[in-house]
Structures are given as structure tokens and as C-alpha cells.
Amino acid sequence: MGKQNRRKPIFLENIEIIDTANKGKSVAKHEGRAIFVHGGVPGDVCDIKVFKRRKKFWEARIEKIHKYSNRRTKPKCEHFGTCGGCKWQNMQYSSQLEFKQNEVINNLKRIGGIELPINEKILASKNQYFYRNKMEFSFSNKRWLTLEEINSEEEILEKNALGFNVPGMFDKIINLNNCYLQKNPSNSIRLSVKEFADKNGISYFDIRNHEGLLRNLMIRTTSSKDLMVLVQFYENDKKNIQLLMEHLKTTFPEITSLLYIINQKANNTIYDQEIICYNGKDHIFEEIEGLYFKIGAKSFFQTNSEQAKILYKKTKELADINSEDIVYDLYTGTGTIAQYIATEAKKVVGIDSVEEGIKAAYENAERNNITNCTFYNGDMKVIFTDKFISENGNPDIIITDPPRDGMHKKVVEQILKIEPKRVVYVSCNSATQARDISLMDKKYKVTHIQPVDMFPQTHHVENIIVLELK
């Protein structure tokens, strides 16, 4: 009986949303308990339905809004509320920036537990929509059905979808009509692929049964007008692969890099897959202040090109490099930061785990006539050793831009051991950044905090922190 009561939804009336929370949720309080609310904006007063109860918190959905927050705005996208890609579209951009800044500072205080300087105002993104240079869409033969479709007595004949996963449902895809994240021809390509596939009876992937041809579609654009399209297939159906790729080639002649993969693994990651170039080149180029960077299908590059320029400019400024400094660029990707700062330094050493990225970094350096950069491929916690440092020189400055999980403890320990005078830590996850910085508190003090908004309409925020040796 107790378990049944626990599972029964709880309805609460006239609850005020007071703040934002992680993963794009909002937060309210009831009788001292935190409630994470989906779709709320601070200032809303609403009735909510609690669907998940834990010891420390509850989770709820809005049933009715009695008073709308003055921070609210009308979402642009027709898929808002179902698609989980832009969860803050219902919040004014000025408020998005405010809460992102608050999140950075709160994480540094709560998780880092260290003394903080006055933080700089968050740098806003010039473009609030159509700012992404890379999008990945999934195919599914079992699309997400609306409540009206489910309740309808009519048979659902069209079940194929090309779009994004419904949050929390790995096997359900929302069929996208229009997406405001990437500029055209992104929408045109996606819609054309779906129309052509449906017309020609090309099968969509079934993620549960692992069958079907069409699996994933990736589109990358650059400010220099290059365009990469990569189609990921599951089955080796040469006839239909040829049919679709030829359609893309002839319909969109502006595609400069047309690629495909046959991936029969359980997951759709491409780093261990052979990439086949169907037409054009196997890469595209991005330009940043006169420097050109080769980007392959597997290469990491900041997904907001215009804002990346601001991020790198600020990183260089805060690094405060002089002509005698040896600089290490950890998690260098395709060597963008390393080459951007190279003219300021005596020597730059870049390290990354993706082999294709390092190859591109060397090619980029040669193309950009940069001769003082050296790049190494390998697992950071394995390659970043005493021997490595003795061979490449003790760094005066370290710039580190790790993945969302942050730096491995061994990497942090090595930084503490070699004691560079300055560490510039760029992060897309201020929680793991705060964790790593807390481990460095005995030897380093935080002197600058600079949030940068790379992802408008989402809760994600980039943050730069400068640590100086005490």
C-alpha cells in the first residue's frame, strides 16, 4: 500500500518558480523541499503535478499557469516542449544570460568552495538563433506520436522520423519540420533527405531490433561557406546508398564534402569508423582572424563559430603570454587555440586523444605558416608525464579545454607537480571545472572568471577561469 501511495502523483497549487536548475529545469520549494519543474520560468505561479519523488527532491510538470513570469517570451519553434534541444526558448535572452552567470558562480562556490574574485559580466552571443555549425539528426522507424494521434481511431501509416530524440526516450524521434539552430541549407537538406527516402521506400533504422538502412545525418557549415554532409547507414545496401548519395550530390551542389559511413555497431559514434568520401573533399575549412582550420568529420570544433572567435580572443587575453613563454594546450582538438596564441609564445605544445584532430592540427599549422607548434596524440592522463615534460620543456602557462567530464585527477596532479605560473581553464561544464579547481586550491588562486554564452536558448554555458600560482 505504501509503494502505491508513493507512486501516486501529487498535485500542488499556486507554486512559485523561484530559480533555474540543472539540465534546463526550473526550481520551486514546498515545505522546505526542492522541486525541479519542467518548463517553468522563474516568476511563474502555477499548479504542478509531482511525478517523481526522491528523499532530497521531487520532480514535477506544470499543469496550469496562474501568473506568467515577466521573464517569459513566446518560443519560436513549433517543437518546443517536446524537443529537448532548446529548453530556454520560453525565457527572454537577458534572463538566460543572468541565470547562466549565476550558475557558474554558484557551482564555483558550492562545489569549488574557494575564494573567488569579482566575476566579469557574461559575454552574450551575437546570434540567438541559427548559430550552430554542426547538427546531428537521427532516423527512426518509430517516431514520437502526439497525444492526439495516440487517441485517434485512425491507423497511423507514417511512422518514419528524422530529427531529435525525445528527452529520456532513446528510441523515440521527433520528426522536425523546422529547426532554428542551424542556418540553411540545413533544414532544406534534412527535409529533402526524408522526402526522398520516403518516396523511394528506403528503410529507417530500428534501434531496438538493429535493422534498417538510414541511421544518422550530420551537417557541418563554416563561415567560409564550406558545407559537409555525412550520412550514417546501418546496412550495407549499396543500391540505396548510391541512390541517396547521388540525390544529395545533384540536389545540393553547394555541398563541398559529401561523406558516408556504414556503421553496424550498437552505438552511432563514428571515431572508430571508416569514412567514405562520395563527392568533393573529405574536409571543410573554418577561418578565424586569418587562420584557416581543416575540419574533418571526426574533428572537434566549437559549434558556435562566431562566438568561438570571442572565446579564443578572451582566452588569449587572459593567458597574458610573453615571447619567452612555453605554453601547453591540453585537449587541443584541431589545434585552434594553440595556433591562435602561437604568435605570442616561444613554443606551444598541443595534446589530444583524437588522431584525426592531431593530423589536422599539423596540416593547419603548415597552412597557416606556424612553426612553433608541436602536437601529440594520446590519452591525456597517459601521455602527460614527467618524461613528456622533460622532452618538451616545462610549461610557463597551461591552457586546458577538456570535455564535459573535466580533467582526469592524474592530469590535475601533474599540473600541480610542474607548477606553471598560470593556468587558463576553459570549460563547457562549470560543475566539473569547479571540482578540478578545488583540487588546485592549495597552490593556485582564481584571479579571473569570464562566462561566455556559446549556446543561446539552452542552459549550457562556457566559462574561462584564470588560476595564478600563489
Q: What is the DSSP string of 17-36?
A: EEEE-GGG-EEEEETTEEEE
Same domain, 43 and 119: no
Same domain, 351 and 440: yes
Kind of pairing, strands 161-166 and 57-67?
A: unpaired
| 192 grid coordinates | 529533402
Query: 452 in a domain, yes or no?
Result: yes
Closest to 237 (Cα-Cα) out of 262, 266, 259, 269: 262
Given a cut of 90, whether residue 328 has pLDDT beyond it is yes
The mean pLDDT of 249-272, rounded to a whole number, is 94
Alpha carbon distance 250, 311 (integer Å): 37
Q: Are 11 and 49 in contact (CB under 8 A)?
A: yes
- Give 65-122 pLDDT, tens digit per residue: 999 999 999 999 998 888 878 999 999 999 999 999 999 999 999 999 888 898 889 9
Same domain, 181 and 247: yes
In this predicted structure, what is the pLDDT of residue 56?
86
Query: 78 in a domain, yes or no?
Result: no
pLDDT band at 154 (very low <50, low <70, confident <90, very high): low
Percent of the chain with pLDDT over 90: 78
Query: 388 in a domain, yes or no?
Result: yes
Q: How many domains does the chain have?
A: 3
Same domain, 218 and 252: yes
- Give 45-60 pLDDT, tens digit per residue: 999 999 988 888 999 9
pLDDT band at 263 (very low <50, low <70, confident <90, very high): very high
In this predicted structure, what is the pLDDT of residue 162?
95
Given a cut of 90, whether residue 5 has pLDDT beyond it is no
Task: Give the residue numbers spanning the domain of 414.
Answer: 97-128+303-469
Same domain, 211 and 62: no
In this predicted structure, what is the pLDDT of residue 207?
87
Given a cut of 70, whether residue 147 has pLDDT beyond it is no
Closest to 130 (Cα-Cα) out of 461, 409, 455: 455
Query: 44 in a domain, yes or no?
Result: yes
Same domain, 248 and 223: yes
| 69 grid coordinates | 513570469
Cis peptide before 185 (omega within 30 of 0): yes
Q: Is 179 a catalytic residue?
A: no
In this predicted structure, what is the pLDDT of residue 4?
44
The domain that holds 272 is classified in CATH as 2.40.50.1070
Query: 193 in a domain, yes or no?
Result: yes
Residue 435: strand, helix, or coil: helix
The domain that holds 410 is classified in CATH as 3.40.50.150
3-state secondary structure 52-116: EECCCEEEEEEEEEEECCCCECCCCCCCECCECCCCCCCECHHHHHHHHHHHHHHHHHHHHCCCC
Given a cut of 60, whether residue 309 has pLDDT beyond it is yes
Same domain, 396 and 251: no
Tell me if the pTM is above 0.75: yes
pLDDT band at 357 (very low <50, low <70, confident <90, very high): confident
Same domain, 221 and 236: yes
Query: 298 in a domain, yes or no?
Result: no
Q: Which of 230, 255, 288 is the last residue of a domain?
A: 288
Same domain, 249 and 158: yes
Among candidate residues 46, 86, 179, 428, the one labeled active-site is: 428
Backbone angles phi, psi at 97, to 5 degrees: -60, -45
Task: Tell me how crowded residue 186 is: count the other CB atoms within 10 A of its CB.
Answer: 23
Closest to 214 (Cα-Cα) out of 294, 290, 160: 160
- Could you list the beta-strand ranges (E) of 208-338: 214-221, 227-233, 257-262, 276-280, 283-288, 291-296, 326-330
User: What stretch of H or E contains 337?
Assistant: helix 336-341
| 328 grid coordinates | 601547453
Query: 49 in a domain, yes or no?
Result: yes
Residue 291: strand, helix, or coil: strand
Q: What is the rounded average pLDDT for all residues in the chain?
A: 92
Query: 358 in a domain, yes or no?
Result: yes
Same domain, 275 and 332: no
| 81 grid coordinates | 516542449
Same domain, 448 and 362: yes
In this predicted structure, what is the pLDDT of residue 6?
58
Q: Which of 239, 257, 288 is the last residue of a domain?
A: 288
